[in-house]
Amino acid sequence: MLKEGTKAPVFSLPDQNGDIHTLEEYRGKKVILYFYPKDNTAGCTKQACGFAERYPQFVEKGAVILGVSKDSVKSHKNFETKYELPFTLLSDPELSVIQAYDVWKEKKNYGKVSMGVVRTTYLIDEDGIIVKAMDKVKAADNPQQMLEVLE
């Protein structure tokens, strides 16, 4: 996980509509950049829907929400449509941004070891500096925690 106080790595990734997003275009805004393992899984759906429910409050506080996983643009589009997600989902199948943000880790599931995305959320300030870094976040609690961090 990247340390608070460090410059956030720049990125350029397609969203659920195939449009490219860069960190630079969000300069001057707070960015909640959250990394999650997989579209349409229980935890990831809880987390995404939690951000969606609170979306107006995040907008009020001047924050942009960007979700990142290694799922395809098409998978993200289906996920967005199914749950009416009002924010941007970025597709990183090559793991370039996932690795730059140090969230690709060894995971253990029922004794089986594999590599995967560790659920991690970063708050990046208006100048591109990481001001909050949370790893191994609980999917259901994370959206509310991030709202509180913005207070």
Among residues 139, 145, 146, 149, the alpha carbon closest in space to that of 49 is found at 139
CB contact at 8 A, 72 and 91: yes
The H or E element spanning position 120 is strand 120-124
| Token output for 25 | 């275009």
Q: Residues 31, 32, 33, 44: which is the catalytic one?
A: 44
Q: Torsion angle, CA of 138/85/116/102, rounded to 10 degrees?
A: -80
Give the whole-angstrom CA distance, residue 92 versus residue 135. Answer: 19
Collapsed DSSP state (helix, strand, coil) of residue 104: strand
Among residues 4, 57, 83, the alpha carbon closest in space to that of 67 is found at 83
| Annotation marks residue 49 as catalytic | no
What residues are annotated to the active site?
44
